Structure 1
Amino acid sequence: MNLRTSMLTAVSAAIVLAGTASVLAQQSTNPETTQKLAKALAGRTAGHPVNCINERSKMQIIDDGTILFRDGGIVYVQQPRGGCYGLTTGMSLIRPAYGTTRLCSGDINNIVDVRTGFGAGACVYSEFVPYRKTG
């Protein structure tokens, strides 16, 4: 196991152990962002990170560093490696066609201005942390 894999595993484990509080603590000091994330994860507990989720999961942008995916009763928190800068200013994620029905850690997504069609960069998904309702 290389150092990068070890570090990613350690970070993922820390997120699971700390639950929602950890995700909230990683967010910017923007109260609106913190409130949106807290509302989306209220009454839920973090599970073990997973590598892939269903491509048909409904996406919700929280900020440039946090994306939620909803699939049934599960909310997956995605914090792309290095962020996806531009999402909060009207950019959109366009996934190159891979011929798969899953979104996975390591997938590269293009950031595109949907009004002009111009690319504005790319971002790479990390592991997805599932949050399930408790009780």
Structure 2
Amino acid sequence: MLRTHLISVLSASVLLAGCNYSDAESAPAPIRDKEAKVLEKELKGKVAGEPRSCISNTRNVNAIRISDDTLLYRESGRTVYVNKLRSSCPGLTRGDDIMVVETYSGQLCSGDLIRLVDRTSGIPGPVCSLGDFTPYKKAK
């Protein structure tokens, strides 16, 4: 009986922990030097285009975690998409968590959900929503 009660309490705590972030915790972590260098390298010599709501979800698209509210999607050596999430995704830049993207079409779209899952325990973390994708291409 005590074990069942303990499991129920722990389960409820985990669920609440995933949903109950204060404003301080939900503020995006500042971009660290390492990520700033990656961002600079990926966008060097490229200019921003018009934001898009969806991009191709091929195996060639690599996601790069820049900050708790910014992802880069490298489609090729020529195009990089910057995605500002609709809100901060605490822990995204830790990189330890598995990032599971739930798409509702054959593409990555604004509004699709990202779920972080602890790699070791399998405990789900925050759920975050993709924003628009701004393409960056080499200047002509």
TM-score by length of 1: 0.72
- 1:107 maps to which residue? 112
Q: Distance in 1 between matches of 2:100 and 2:45?
A: 31
Is 1:63 aligned to residue 63 of structure 2?
no
Give runs of aligned pairs for residues 15-94 of structure 1, distance below 5 A. Answer: 28=30, 30-56=32-58, 57-72=61-76, 73-89=78-94, 90-94=96-100
- What amino acid does structure 2 have at the position aligned with 1:43? G
Separation in 2 of the partners of 1:29 and 1:121?
19
Following the alignment from structure 1 to structure 2, what is the Cα–Cα distance between the partners of residues 82 and 124? 7
Highest Rg: 1 or 2?
A: 2
Identical counterparts, % of pairs: 33
Return the letter of the residue paired with 1:71.
E
**Aligned-residue CA RMSD in angstroms?**
2.0
SS at match of 2:40: helix
Q: Give per-residue Cα distances to partners, 1:92-127, cap 9 Å, x unaligned.
A: 2212363x3201001112111122211011000110
TM-score by length of 2: 0.70
In structure 2, what is the Cα distance between the partners aligned to 1:37 and 1:29? 10
The question of whether the paired residues in 1 share the 8 Å contact of 2:68 and 2:90 is answered with yes
